[in-house]
Amino acid sequence: MIFHDILVVGGGLAGLRAAISAAEKKADVAIVSRLYPVRSHSGQAQGGVNAALANNPQAKDDTPEKHAFDTVKGSDFLADQETSIFMTQEAPEAIFEIEHWGCPFSRTPEGKIAQRPFGGAGYPRTCYGSDKTGHYMLQTLYEQTVRHNVKVYSEWVVIGLAKDVDTCCGVIALDMHSGTLQAMGANAVIFATGGSARIYGNSTNGITSTAFGVAIPYWAGVPLKDMEFIQFHPTSLYPSNILMTEGCRGEGGTLINKDGERFLTKYAPKAMELGPRDIVARGIMTEILEGRGYEDAYVYLDLRHLGKAKIMEKLPGIREITLDFIGLDPIEKPIPIQPGTHYCMGGIDTNVDGESPLKGFYAAGECACVSVHGANRLGGNSLLDTLVFGKRAGAVAAGYTKDKSKQSRTNALERALKREEDNLNQMLKSNGKENPHKINNELRKLMPEKAGIFRNEKQLSEGLTQIKALKERFKKIRPVASGRSFNLDKVWFLEIKGNLDVAEAVVAGALARKESRGSHFRRDFATRDDANFMKHTVATYTPEGPKLSYKDVSITKYQPEERKY
């Protein structure tokens, strides 16, 4: 039976950073990833990573404290403040560390790491490598795992947790090469499986960014936190929803409606295009819904005034995408954009150390809710989150396993393996007629309609009813394909079940939160209600649906105030 001190599930930035941190502590650590790590979705992050380095001439007095305040204010004061302060204090060291490992950041004329403005930030503090920052960071961290001889189980899909009473003792994984299930024992497991935005049909995310990664611990009794807070990125390419980085606006790009107006004067009169994502996305959607968009579907992101030289230096990837996908050169024409579902502020409930309520089980990155993003994440803070909390989770998990014997807890792993084998066999023998992919497509259609940028009780109630109906239909699905090697049908079936259960938690949390805060905007409760909803939503799995409870937000330094941009 396979055994490692620590298993890291996910090979993106958070998973790689966790593995490096654990390896530095001399732990026996391995990564289990459904993709070859450098193909992880972290590589699609374009615009940059935040840290108060004060390298930009307009940011000479920037500090981690000011970065923390921007983070908390951007979160609509739902972020836990001491955790946010920890992240921003750790940020400069995290950037210098990855720079010294060889990450090719863009440079100022003096040779310092270049920093650009990003939305919701008081200073230009977003470090970047052209518009391919996530790609550069991913390659850099992967090199470090090679340096530390970290074992990687590539193209293995974790489908379940193993528990020994109240302690996580490993995972059950599907080896896609052989098609066999494997029990993998560990003294600690770190989930770094990324976000769940593919439960929405208008997502900027790759096809592997499903809710399966948070569904697995959710099914095992680990609660999810703040799942109703879904970020809609203001600028995704129309009609495909491919991400158009916030760096476009950071470099001076403007948003214009069909009347040629820079309409954000109505929504963020001071910050304009550099307002926080929730406000800018709602502004764009309002223009479209009120008939001031092109073809009632999009507005324009205009980069033409930046000039060819700047676009080719700072935004070459954006130009490449628009040329490849819609045959448009942003040097000559504006880019059609609309908001797209982008990021999940909520996730697996963890503390600052990445610890979950299940002993020995940790999480980091977008699949976790620590919470530093609250109700709305600032652009550039997600990559920082992966570095800071990936490192923290790896180090804490290594400390937790240090004095533990190398034991496989065979009985618990065998029980978990049999559970998952029985589940797959049941799907193989199903005699239903429902097409699970049709169910998934219907889910991805209803989520933007019922739990999108603008929400109300009627839509959310209808959405919850529809999801419950889809779950009933899923019980009558057709048999899963019986092939073994790279049988993606098995994985997709399991993912769709996870999508349904997690989507139910998103909508239930949104229905219960009778206020507007950050990305969660209720037309029927259009103001923030600190008296009743300055609290985190906690969803615990039951077969009948999520059981909701609440926990306090940590408010220590910054008292909630009205957000003005």
**Contact of 193 with 213, CB cutoff 8 Å:** yes
How many Å apart are CA 303 and CA 255, to the nearest integer? 9
Which of the 8 DSSP states describes residue 291? T
Amino acid type, 119: G
Angle value at C-alpha 261, between 259 and 263, nearest 5 degrees: 120
Distance from CA of residue 233 to its chain's centroid?
12
Instruction: Provide the 10 A C-beta neighbour count for residue 267.
Output: 18
Residue range 59-74, pLDDT digits in tens = 999 999 999 999 999 9
Residue range 433-470, pLDDT digits in tens = 999 999 999 999 999 999 999 999 999 999 999 999 99
pLDDT for position 404: 82
All residue ranges of the chain with pLDDT < 50 are none
Instruction: Provide the 10 A C-beta neighbour count for residue 225.
Output: 23
pLDDT for position 477: 95
The domain defined by 1-48+151-229+345-542 folds into: FAD/NAD(P)-binding domain (3.50.50)
pLDDT for position 145: 98
Q: Is position 319 annotated as part of the catalytic site?
A: no
How many Å apart are CA 443 and CA 437, to the nearest integer? 10
Domain positions in the chain: 1-48+151-229+345-542, 244-339
Annotate 107-132 with DSSP letters as a single string: B-TTSSBPEE--TT-SS--EE-STT-
Which of the 8 DSSP states describes residue 11? -
How many Å apart are CA 493 and CA 116, to the nearest integer? 42
Angle value at C-alpha 241, between 256 and 275, nearest 5 degrees: 45
How many Å apart are CA 373 and CA 343, to the nearest integer? 10
Those residues whose C-beta lies under 8 Å from the C-beta of residue 352, and which sit 6 or more positions away, are 82, 83, 86, 370, 389, 392
How many Å apart are CA 157 and CA 177, to the nearest integer? 11
Q: Dmax over Cα atoms in the chain, in whole Å? A: 69
pLDDT for position 410: 85
How many Å apart are CA 353 and CA 396, to the nearest integer? 6
Q: What are phi and psi of 344, to 5 degrees?
A: -105, 115
How many Å apart are CA 287 and CA 285, to the nearest integer? 5
| Helix, strand, coil in percent for the chain, rounding step 5 | 40, 20, 40
The domain defined by 244-339 folds into: Flavocytochrome C3; Chain A, domain 1 (3.90.700)
How many Cα atoms within 13 Å fall on the side-chain side of residue 412?
Answer: 19
CA Rg, the chain, in Å? 22
How many Å apart are CA 474 and CA 435, to the nearest integer? 8
Angle value at C-alpha 163, between 162 and 168, nearest 5 degrees: 90
pLDDT for position 334: 98
Pick from 140, 150, 158, 148: nearest CA to 13: 140
What is the helix (H) or strand (E) element at residue 384, kind and residue range?
helix 381-401
- Choose the catalytic residue: 34, 41, 233, 342: 233
435, two tokens: 């097409």
Amino acid type, 481: A
pLDDT for position 409: 83
Helices (H) and strands (E) in the chain, counts: 15, 19
pLDDT for position 403: 83
- Looking up tokens 């530093």 gives 372
Q: Is position 249 annotated as part of the catalytic site?
A: yes
How many Å apart are CA 460 and CA 445, to the nearest integer? 14
Residue range 11-44, pLDDT digits in tens = 999 999 999 999 999 999 999 999 999 999 999 9
Question: What is the bridge-based pairing of β-strands 254-256 and 299-302?
Answer: antiparallel
- Choose the catalytic residue: 4, 116, 249, 377: 249
State pTM to two decimals. 0.97
Helix (H, G, I), strand (E, B) or coil at 495: helix
